[in-house]
């Protein structure tokens, strides 16, 4: 039996670690998902178990090599950003994989920003809101300041996707998509590391930058392997490959992130204050983005609705778009844009509404989505305005929500609004990034399925 040529992608999220196999037509053939228990770092704060993660990658790779069904022609990696793995002089991991949600000491932040010109200046230069540990460069700075003896032993600091590649290739590389995801490390207008990275000698710990379309190296068995990508930037690749007209991608999950690859204007202070940032695409171009914690709010509020109306928590999935309720609760979108404040609220007004005012779950749920849409319009508009964008692609959970999609189409009447379906976009993007190194077939045309809403 002839084996099927595939590329293997290790896609590491905070919740699930996945191994996915794509054929040469980029069809998903197999997906193995592995939840992993967190452990605690030396301060008792939860973090991913880097040793268990490493063992899983090696075991999964060994199992793939012995497969009678698949021939592995290439390997790449995608993973969450803002987390470093520290490699010692002996090539081994020397510290925990610290959690980017770990609280950051305020005195150390003050010391840093007072030395380098203040929060606003550094944030605008690095296109990174001040987010503490979520600015991964600040994690390395903290290690240098608080534990200089350990910092001295570090040979290389690798963002998580590049560490995954290192496990199988032994190659030390840095990747532009990982550097460019709100790390505080990259000076966007100078297209280089920020001055502070050099002054603090952090740059000595970062290996050479590898182009995302190049190989990091080969495994011991000679299989070509990429250096890995940050998952948000990787998820954009199927869209950039499929569409040439300007678009934004509204990626919906716990966070609703509006990514505009066609907005190269520098971030303003008001935009930074409204939780805007810039990513770097796999080609090194700035991608302006705005974030809204809307998925998290939706999750909390549907629990509240379920408790009050005595329904299952996922009852909202059966609620159909009701034209009368959509009309009743439609916001005045034009007025909203005129009144937009610099800082968008963290949550909508729905949490303050009295559920006794609603005659049914359906009525309350329509208003919940309408209230969320008020903030979504303001958030997305921050990166859409004054650009040539005419299309909005929505992926993730809300793309399957007919009420959300109908209201979004009404909020942006001048746009074409589509629910987009891409199977495992971040993993698919990582596979496509090194296409020429493993796949002799032409790139398929129809990697994204679309459903249009509105006019």
Residue 312 confidence (pLDDT) above 70: yes
Residues of the chain with CATH 3.30.420.40: 4-227, 233-421
Distance CA 88, CA 148 (A): 14
User: Measuring CA to CA, how many Å separate 248 from each of 288, 289, 387, 395?
Assistant: 10, 9, 10, 11
Q: What is the pLDDT of residue 343?
A: 65
Q: What is the pLDDT of residue 281?
A: 92
Nearest to 298 by CA among 333, 343, 331, 253: 253
Distance CA 66, CA 71 (A): 9
Q: Could you tell me if 116 and 168 are in contact, meaning their C-beta atoms sit under 8 angstroms apart?
A: no
Q: What is the pLDDT of residue 346?
A: 77
List 96's β-bridge partners, or say none.
none
Residue 455 confidence (pLDDT) above 80: no
Each residue of 231-275: pLDDT tens digit?
Answer: 989 999 999 999 989 999 998 888 899 999 999 888 888 888 888
Distance CA 149, CA 405 (A): 53
Residue 206 confidence (pLDDT) above 70: yes
With a pLDDT cut of 90, the percent of the chain lying above it is 84
Residue 200 confidence (pLDDT) above 80: yes
Q: What is the pLDDT of residue 266?
A: 85
Please state whether beta strands 154-159 and 84-88 pair in parallel, antiparallel, or not at all (unpaired).
Answer: antiparallel
For the residues 193-201, what does the mean pLDDT come to? Answer: 97
Instruction: Kindly report the average pLDDT of the chain as a whole number.
Output: 93
Q: What is the pLDDT of residue 339?
A: 55
Distance CA 23, CA 71 (A): 10
pTM: 0.88
Place of tokens 């090696």: 58
Q: What's the token pair of residue 205?
A: 């710990």
With a pLDDT cut of 70, the percent of the chain lying above it is 98
Three-state DSSP class for 155?
A: strand
Q: What is the pLDDT of residue 174?
A: 97
Residue 196 confidence (pLDDT) above 80: yes
Q: What is the pLDDT of residue 270?
A: 85
Nearest to 195 by CA among 124, 118, 125, 276: 125
**DSSP character at residue 15:** S
For the residues 159-183, what does the mean pLDDT come to? Answer: 96
For the residues 173-179, what does the mean pLDDT come to? Answer: 96
Q: What is the pLDDT of residue 124?
A: 94
Q: What is the pLDDT of residue 152?
A: 96
Distance CA 154, CA 89 (A): 7
Each residue of 12-67: pLDDT tens digit?
Answer: 988 789 999 999 999 999 999 988 999 999 999 999 999 999 999 999 999 999 99
Rama region for 63: left / alpha / beta (φ>0; ψ in -120 to 50; rest):
alpha
Contacts of 158 (CB under 8 A, 6+ apart): 84, 85, 86, 87, 166, 172, 174, 207
CATH number of 233-421: 3.30.420.40
Kindly report which listed range (78-87, 168-177, 248-257) carries the lowest average pLDDT score: 248-257
Q: Which CATH number fits domain 4-227: 3.40.50.9100, 3.40.50.11540, 3.30.420.40, 3.40.30.10?
A: 3.30.420.40
């Amino acid at each position: 039996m002839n084996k099927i040529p595939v590329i293997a992608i290790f896609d590491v999220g905070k919740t699930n670690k996945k191994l996915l196999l794509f054929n040469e037509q980029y069809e998903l053939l197999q997906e193995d998902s592995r939840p992993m228990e967190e452990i605690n770092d030396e301060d008792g704060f939860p973090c991913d178990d880097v040793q268990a993660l490493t063992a899983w990658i090696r075991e999964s790779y060994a199992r793939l090599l012995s497969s009678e069904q698949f021939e592995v022609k290439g390997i790449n990696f995608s993973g969450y950003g803002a987390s470093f793995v520290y490699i010692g002089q002996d090539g081994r991991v020397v510290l925990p994989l610290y959690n980017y949600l770990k609280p950051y000491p305020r005195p150390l932040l003050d010391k840093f920003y007072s030395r380098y010109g203040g929060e606003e200046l550094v944030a605008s230069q690095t296109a990174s809101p001040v987010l503490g540990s979520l600015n991964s460069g600040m994690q390395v700075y903290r290690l240098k300041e608080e534990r200089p003896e350990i910092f001295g032993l570090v040979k290389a600091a690798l963002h998580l996707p590049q560490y995954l590649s290192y496990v199988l290739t032994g190659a030390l590389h840095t990747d532009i998509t990982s550097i460019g995801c709100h790390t505080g490390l990259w000076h966007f207008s100078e297209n280089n590391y920020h001055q502070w990275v050099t002054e603090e000698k952090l740059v000595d710990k970062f290996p050479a930058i590898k182009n995302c379309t190049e190989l990091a190296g080969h495994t011991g068995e000679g299989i070509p392997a990429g250096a890995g990508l940050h998952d948000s930037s990787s998820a954009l690749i199927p869209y950039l490959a499929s569409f040439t007209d300007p678009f934004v991608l509204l990626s919906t999950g716990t966070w609703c992130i509006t990514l505009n690859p066609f907005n190269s204007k520098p971030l303003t202070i008001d935009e930074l204050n409204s939780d805007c940032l810039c990513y770097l695409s796999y080609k090194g171009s700035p991608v302006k983005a705005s974030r809204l914690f809307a998925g998290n709010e939706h999750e909390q509020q549907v629990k509240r609705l379920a408790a009050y109306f005595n329904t299952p928590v996922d009852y909202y999935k059966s609620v159909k778009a009701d034209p009368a309720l959509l009309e009743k609760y439609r916001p005045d979108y034009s007025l909203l844009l005129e009144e937009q404040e610099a800082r968008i609220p963290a949550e909508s007004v729905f949490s303050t509404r009295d559920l006794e005012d609603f005659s049914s779950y359906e009525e309350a749920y329509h208003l919940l989505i309408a209230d969320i849409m008020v903030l979504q319009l303001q958030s997305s508009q921050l990166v859409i305005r004054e650009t040539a964008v005419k299309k909005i692609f929505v992926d993730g959970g809300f793309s399957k929500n007919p009420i959300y999609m109908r209201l979004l189409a009404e909020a942006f009447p001048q746009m074409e609004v589509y629910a987009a379906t891409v199977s495992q976009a971040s993993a698919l993007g990582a596979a496509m990034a090194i296409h020429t190194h493993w796949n002799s077939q032409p790139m398929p045309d129809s990697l994204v399925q679309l459903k249009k809403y509105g006019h």
